Amino acid sequence: MHAHAPRIDRPADLDAVRESYDKVADNYVHLLQTTGMGDIRRHPWLKAAMDVFADAVADSGPVLDVGCGPGQVTAYLAERGLDVSGVDLSPGMIENARRLHPQCRFSVSSATDLALDEGSLGGVLGWWSLFNLPRAVLPQVVALFASALKPGGHFLTGTHVGEGDRVRTEAYGSEGVRWTTHRWRPEEFVAVIEGAGLKVVADLRLPGEGQTGPGVVVMAKKPEG
């Protein structure tokens, strides 16, 4: 039996964040379907990063998409032939994911509540899904991912870049929400990942465009041996 990682601190606003994403889930899916906003095929650099990740983890074991939302990226990776499943904090998001992508496996869980066996995953994805984690909690979650990766396994993540935190009170169709976007400077974000014992393979800085602020994509590898 593999060992489990230590328990992670529960964010104080976890319930409010879950309720907020449940409230906007249907609007968010409608927005994705009408604008193509979440379709990485429309974003060449993001698609390139995802394709490199898919190639890197192809034969190395199961892949977990943490904070998968309505499952569009999970489904993309499944199309690439990966043994991938998705988890999300929001039951409303998971309900949509199961409806839209019945060929994929999804379950409801917070990133802070995952029971992951050590060395059990070939890849972990945190695709613009970890920014609600408080600054003290993100390093604990990334350490859990690092523990769960097999030697040689890969972690791919993207997040919002900036100074300080931004409290959201409405989103996706002016629905009232309550969550905090914890923005990171790229070098801070990279330091968190390296602090978990992962080796950063590449990072991609993205300028803000349209309604999207600047972002960073980081791919990291668990050292072998």
**Burial class for 13, CB neighbours closer than 10 Å (0-12, 13-18, 19+):** middle
pLDDT surpassing 70 at residue 211? no
- Single out the residue of 127, 146, 151 nearest to residue 193, CA to CA: 146
* pTM to 2 decimal places: 0.93
Q: How far apart, in whole angstroms, are the C-alpha atoms of residue 84 and residue 81?
A: 9
- Single out the residue of 69, 77, 88 nearest to residue 47, CA to CA: 77
pLDDT surpassing 80 at residue 16? yes
What integer is the mean pLDDT of 49-65?
96
**Pure H helices in the chain:** 14-35, 44-57, 72-79, 91-100, 138-148, 186-195
Hey, what CATH class is 14-221 in?
A: alpha beta
Domains of the chain by residue range = 14-221
Task: Report pLDDT digits (tens) over 63-119.
Answer: 999 999 999 999 999 999 999 999 999 999 999 999 999 999 999 999 999 999 999
Structural element, H or E, at residue 169: strand 165-171
Q: How far apart, in whole angstroms, are the C-alpha atoms of residue 53 and residue 60?
A: 11
- Which pLDDT does position 105 carry in this prediction? 98
